[in-house]
Structure 1
C-alpha cells in the first residue's frame, strides 16, 4: 500500500500528468464550463486538509515573529508593486489588459500559497498567520495602486463583495473546520483522530484536482483568444522568475530565518489569481472576458512555476544563507 511520504515524493510527477490531462480534456470536452463551479469548493477542501496539518497552538509563536511580518508586507506591497510598474512599462499593453495584469499581480495569494509554502519546506504557519493581514491590506491598497497605475477612473470598478465572499469560503470556513477537527482529535475522539489522519492524505490529490478544474475549465477560452496571451505571457514569466528573489531580498533586509525566507519567496511569487477572477467577471461585457483571460493566463503560468518553486526555492534559500 502506498505511503503518504511516497505520495508527497511523487507529487511533481502527479501534477505534470494532471496538467497534460486537463489540457486535453479542456480542449476536447465541450461541457468544461461545468468545472468552473467546482473551483471554489475544491480549493476550500484543499485548504481544509492543509490547515488540519498545521498545529494551530503554535500560531502564537508565529505571530510573535515581527521580522517575518515586516518582510512579507514590505515584499508584497512595496517591492512587488515596483516590479509590476517596471514590467508594464517594458511590455506595454492596452489599458484593459493592463487592468487584468494589475488585478492579479498586485494581490498576494491568501489560500494555496500556504500549501506550496508547506510543500517547499517553508514556514507555512507564519504564512497562514499573515493571511488576514494580507487580505485587509490588499483590499485597502488595490484601488490606490490602480489609481496610481491607471488613473482615478478605475477606482469605481473594484467591488469588495467578491473578495469577502472568497475569503469567507476559502479561508474562514476551512480554518474553523480544521480547528474543530484538531480539537476533537486532542479530546481523544476516535472520529476526530480518524478525520485528522485522513486529511493528511488529501493535499497532493486535491492540489492535482485544483489544477485540473482550473485549467480544464479555462484552457478553451485561452485557446480561442491567443492574442492577449502573447502579450501577457512575457510579463508573467519575467515576474515568476524575479519574484522569488524579491522575497528573499525582503527577508534578508529584515533578517528572517531561512524557513521564513522560503515562505516569503512563495508569498511574493504566488498571486491571488483564483480569488480576483470574480472581480474580472463582474466588469461590463465584453471587457470582462478579456480581463478574465488575462488573469487565467497568469494562473496557468504560475502553476507551472509553482512546481519548479517546490524544488527551486529551498535551493535558493538554504540554512547556510542565514
Structure 2
C-alpha cells in the first residue's frame, strides 16, 4: 500500500488498533505487562521512521519566509498556550487529567500535520520548513509551559529517573535519523532506502496505540467520564485553533495556501512526542497517558472534517468570478 493510501485511511487503522488493543487487554489481561514494555521500542521505531521523513536540514531555508514562520510560531507558542490554559480551567480539578491535557495540547504536531496540510490543499513546502522549528521549540518550552500553566514545577511530577528513559526514546531516534539522512546524502540507492520508510509511521503508530490499549485496557474501559471531558475539550480546542488561524492569517495577510497550512499547524497536536513522558509518570497519574491517547483519537476524527472545511469554508480559493463579484 502506498503512503498516500495509508495516510488517507489512517484514522481507521488507529481506531481499529485501539479497539483491538482494548479487546485483547480485556480477554487476556496477562498481556498487559508485556505490552507495556513493548511500547518503548515501538515508540522508538515510530519516532525514527518519522524523523527520517522530516526536513532536519531545512532550518536555514525556513528563515526566508519570515511572515509565515513568525505568524505560525506566534500562534503555536504564544496564543495557543493561552487558549489551552483557558480550556484546562473548564476541566475537573483532577491533577493527572489536567496534566495530560497540558502535555498533549501545548505541543504542535510535526508528523501528520504535514499529511493533513497536503490533504487540505495547504502549502506543503512551508509546512515542511516549519517542522524543525516547531520540534525544537516545543522540546525547549514544554517544561516552562507546564510550570507556568500547571502551577507545579516539572520536577514535582517527573523525577530525573523517570524523565531520562523518555528523553532517550525521543532523542535517540532523532540523532539516529539525522545520521541516517546525512549518510544517505545525495546517493540514489541510499535515498531510496530512506524513502521506503515513508510508509512506516502509520502502521507503527497503530502498533503503539494497540499496545497502549492492551496495557491500559482496564483504565480505558472505565474512562467514560474522562472520555467525555477529553472529547469536549479537544473539540473546543479544534474550534479555537481554527478561529485563531483565520484571524492570524487575515492579520498577516497570508495567501490562501499558507492560511490552510497555519490552520492545520494550530489544530494538530504532537501526541506521540509527549506519550513517552506521560507513560513515565508515577502511580496515580495513569490518567495523563489515557488523556494523550484519547485526544489523538478525537483529533483524528476532527481532521476528517477539517480537511474538507478548511479549504471549502475557512480558506476558500478566490476565483476570478468571485473576485469580480466581490468588486461589484
Query: Given the two structures, how large is their TM-score scaled by the length of structure 2?
Result: 0.77
Answering whether residue 113 of structure 2 is matched by residue 117 of structure 1, we say no
Answering whether residue 208 of structure 2 is matched by residue 229 of structure 1, we say no
Change (3 A) 1:20 1:70: closer
Residues 102-152 of structure 1: per-residue CA shift (max 9 Å, x gap)? 111112223443333344343344333333433343344333333333324
- The answer to whether the 8 Å contact 2:50/2:111 transfers is no
d(CA) in 2 for partners of 1:142 and 1:59?
20
> Shift of residue 183 of structure 1?
0.8
Select 1:45's aligned residue among 32, 35, 49: 49
Answering whether residue 311 of structure 2 is matched by residue 314 of structure 1, we say yes
> Shift of residue 100 of structure 1?
1.3
Query: How is 1:227-306 mapped onto 2 (pairs within 5 angstroms)?
Result: 227-287=225-285, 289-306=286-303
d(CA) in 2 for partners of 1:39 and 1:46?
10
Answering whether residue 30 of structure 2 is matched by residue 26 of structure 1, we say no
Residues 262-307 of structure 1: per-residue CA shift (max 9 Å, x gap)? 22222211112111122222322122x1211122111221222234
- The answer to whether the 8 Å contact 1:117/1:123 transfers is yes
Structure 2 counterpart of 1:209: 203
Change (3 A) 1:309 1:210: farther
> Shift of residue 209 of structure 1?
0.8
d(CA) in 2 for partners of 1:64 and 1:80?
24
> Shift of residue 182 of structure 1?
5.1
Computed over aligned residues only, the root mean square deviation of the Cα atoms, in angstroms, reads 3.3
d(CA) in 2 for partners of 1:257 and 1:170?
35
Answering whether residue 168 of structure 2 is matched by residue 168 of structure 1, we say no
Deviation larger for 140-149 or 292-301: 140-149
SS of structure 2 residue aligned to 1:183:
coil
Answering whether residue 90 of structure 2 is matched by residue 95 of structure 1, we say no
Query: How is 1:9-20 mapped onto 2 (pairs within 5 angstroms)?
Result: 11-12=7-8, 14-20=9-15
d(CA) in 2 for partners of 1:319 and 1:173?
41
Change (3 A) 1:260 1:44: farther
- The answer to whether the 8 Å contact 2:146/2:152 transfers is yes
Structure 2 counterpart of 1:107: 107
Answering whether residue 4 of structure 2 is matched by residue 8 of structure 1, we say yes
Provide the aligned length of Structure 1 versus Structure 2.
303
SS of structure 1 residue aligned to 2:253:
coil
- The answer to whether the 8 Å contact 1:109/1:271 transfers is yes
Change (3 A) 1:42 1:139: closer
Query: Given the two structures, how large is their TM-score scaled by the length of structure 1?
Result: 0.78
Consecutive unaligned residues of structure 1, counting only runs of 5 or more, are 186-190
Structure 2 counterpart of 1:188: none
Answering whether residue 94 of structure 2 is matched by residue 77 of structure 1, we say no
> Shift of residue 260 of structure 1?
2.4
- The answer to whether the 8 Å contact 1:127/1:263 transfers is yes
d(CA) in 2 for partners of 1:111 and 1:72?
16
Structure 1 counterpart of 2:326: none
d(CA) in 2 for partners of 1:242 and 1:248?
10
d(CA) in 2 for partners of 1:261 and 1:167?
30
Change (3 A) 1:141 1:24: closer
SS of structure 2 residue aligned to 1:320:
coil
Change (3 A) 1:258 1:229: same
